[in-house]
Amino acid sequence: MLVFLKTSEEALCVPNDTCAWTYTSAIPTVRNISTHWNTTSKKWQVIVNGTDWTGSADTSTLYVNGHAQKTVLQDNAQNYTIFEVTNFRGKTLSNMKVYFDIGTPKDHDTVIDGVSLDLLPRLTDLAIQEGSANSTLLWATV
């Protein structure tokens, strides 16, 4: 993202007052994106890796087809964020966007845009007490 600021009109400073400017020397960069099945939560997770992470799990969001996913963990020292797929139906994650506290990370367009991640069906529950007589039909949650 490229931003142009004027020193007058839009960016006025009161005379004899200090103007506070924040400069970010390093912009977060996305290096890769992958999926992981969490056996404890029994949910798919998307892991985004990169460099120069900023913000926190509260300020980072993954959108899949316009729906925000739950941010589980962000480790700025290790430069990764884990998102849990909680708001999605289907088997392919596509049309993904990642946002950090300072906006879209560098290389987002080459690493995430246009990428599709397939989620394989996973058995999460098997109810043997439900179904047909003689257990010829069981209820399975996938």
Mean pLDDT (the chain, rounded): 82
So what's the pLDDT on residue 99? 93
Question: Is residue 92 domain-resident?
Answer: yes
How far, in Å, CA of 84 to CA of 45, rounded? 4
pLDDT of residue 19: 72
Share of the chain above pLDDT 70, in %: 74
Burial class (CB in 10 A: 0-12, 13-18, 19+), 19: exposed
Q: What's at 59, amino acid-wise?
A: T
DSSP per residue over 80-130, as a string? Answer: EEEEE--S--SSEE-SEEEEBTTBSPBTHHHHTTT--EE------EEEEEE
Each residue's pLDDT tens digit, 31-77 = 999 999 998 988 999 999 999 998 999 999 999 989 999 999 999 99
> CATH number of the domain that 94 lies in?
2.60.40.10
Q: How far apart are CA 66 and CA 46, in angstroms?
A: 16
In a domain, 17, yes or no: no
Residue 25 confidence class, pLDDT cut points 50, 70, 90:
low
- pLDDT at 29 exceeding the cut of 80: yes
Residue 136, pLDDT > 70, answer no
3 state SS of 59: coil
Asked if residue 114 is part of any domain, the answer here is yes
Number of domains making up the chain: 1
Q: Is 55 part of any domain? A: yes
Q: Which residue has the higher pLDDT, 116 or 138?
A: 116
Residues pairing with 126 in the sheet? 140
Helix (H) or strand (E) run with residue 23 in it: none
Instruction: Provide the residue range defining the domain that includes 120.
Output: 27-141
pLDDT at position 35: 94
Q: Is 12 a member of any domain?
A: no
Give yes or no for a contact between 70 and 86, defined as CB atoms under 8 angstroms apart.
yes
Examine the pLDDT at 5 and tell me if it is beyond 60.
no
